[in-house]
Amino acid sequence: MAEIAHSVVAYAPGSIGNFGPAIDVLGCALTGAGDEVRVAFNNTPHIVVADSGHPHLPTNPARHTSAIAAREVLARTGLSDWGVTLSVTKGLPLAGGQGGSAASAIAAAVAVNVLVSDAGKDPLDAQALLSAALVAEATVAGRHLDNLAPSLLGGVCCVRSIAPPDVTRIQVNVPLWIALAHPEVAVRTADARAVLPQFVPRAMLIDQLANVAAQVSALATGDLELLGRALTDHYAEPARAPLVAGFYQAKQAALEAGALGGSFSGSGPTTFMVCASEAIALGVAEAMRWSFEVSGVACTARVATIDFEGATWRRE
């Protein structure tokens, strides 16, 4: 094993998965919160999670997305008998619908990939990194890329295919502010996916396809009125709303405060609402927070913009 004394720290932003009607297809990286993972070779063949980032997260390397992603990167670069030690700093809520498991996986994959390069080996490209992180995400949350891709690449990403990953960044030619309300309700991704209808009427399918197409067009052209109309989800939102008390009241409060539109971030419970200005977004965030608390649900709220940078790293 090469002597590499330094560690690499990588940061991956949180994200909105299922961006509006585009379940498993569009994801959006967000500023303001993400996960950070510090990684160093440990001169053993073992993956060690020194700090899981939260008391409720496992240190078992077979169950933490950062460790699974690290193992996959090492295996795919021919270093499966090398070990690393990881320390995770969680900036994203657990089971919050803000891409926390994906961010940990991406941050670890990026950091290990830099160490691989420092060891004189060929690092993975972006597509291979997504494939490695997907193994981790599939283990704990489900087999989807709509959080992983924007967390790595930044911006708004379209996932055309998972196997193999076929991801493109969508043009965004309008400044957007996004209000996020996180009620203190735990919604496991597996539970949120379990309530989704297995079959849908043709009319609903057509509506969803039309809204996704309109959403992409609106982001590219800057048509905010079209974007607001397109952020309508006839499929997942009605099925998942009963899992989050006060959701519809909070959404209505957001629209009355000037939001263009929005829905659940990922599988919830976080609600995102897209706004045309920072001032409106601040008012929308407060309106949602207040509405959830009136419904008897404690809630925190913040305002973000689109993170166009994606994952970053530094040596220490």
pTM, rounded to two decimals: 0.94
Q: How sure is the predictor about 5, in pLDDT bands with cuts at 50, 70 and 90?
A: low
Average pLDDT of the segment spanning 182-192: 85
Cα 68 to Cα 118, 170, 190, 205, 230, distances in angstroms: 21, 29, 19, 35, 36
- The answer on 297 and 191 residing in a single domain is yes
Reduced DSSP (H G I as helix, E B as strand, rest coil) percent helix, strand, coil of the chain, to 5: 40, 25, 40
**102 pLDDT higher than 70:** yes
- The answer on 62 and 182 residing in a single domain is no
| pLDDT of amino acid 178 | 97
Q: Say which residues have a Cβ less than 8 Å from residue 261's Cβ, sequence separation at least 6.
A: 20, 227, 228, 229, 230, 231, 232, 255, 273, 274
- The answer on 98 and 78 residing in a single domain is yes
Residues 144-158 pLDDT 10s: 899 999 999 999 999
- The answer on 145 and 17 residing in a single domain is yes
Identify whether 156 is part of a domain.
Answer: yes
- The answer on 143 and 19 residing in a single domain is yes
- What average pLDDT does the structure give for the chain? 94
Average pLDDT of the segment spanning 169-195: 90
Residues 115-145 pLDDT 10s: 999 999 999 999 999 999 999 999 988 888 9
The CATH number covering residue 293 comes to: 3.30.70.890
Judge contact between 30 and 304, C-beta under 8 A.
yes
Average pLDDT of the segment spanning 200-210: 94
Q: List the 177-183 sheet strands across, edge first.
A: 261-264, 271-275, 177-183, 299-305
Identify whether 1 is part of a domain.
Answer: no
Q: Which two tokens stand for residue 40?
A: 């160093």
The whole domain housing 63 covers 8-170+307-315
Number of domains in the chain: 2
Burial bucket for residue 22 (CB in 10 Å: 0-12, 13-18, 19+): buried
- The answer on 81 and 18 residing in a single domain is yes
Identify whether 83 is part of a domain.
Answer: yes
Identify whether 2 is part of a domain.
Answer: no
- The answer on 207 and 140 residing in a single domain is no
Which residue type sits at 73?
Answer: V
Identify whether 166 is part of a domain.
Answer: yes
In the chain, the percentage of residues whose pLDDT exceeds 90 is 88
* Cα–Cα distance measured from residue 233 to residue 161, given in angstroms and rounded to the nearest whole number: 21
- The answer on 160 and 134 residing in a single domain is yes
Beta-strand runs (E) in the chain: 8-16, 26-41, 47-51, 84-89, 156-161, 166-170, 177-183, 261-264, 271-275, 299-305, 312-315
Q: Which two tokens stand for residue 36?
A: 């950070």
- The answer on 192 and 108 residing in a single domain is no
**84 pLDDT higher than 90:** yes
The CATH number covering residue 59 comes to: 3.30.230.10
**2 pLDDT higher than 60:** no
Average pLDDT of the segment spanning 224-245: 94
**295 pLDDT higher than 80:** yes
| 87 DSSP β-pair partners | 38, 51
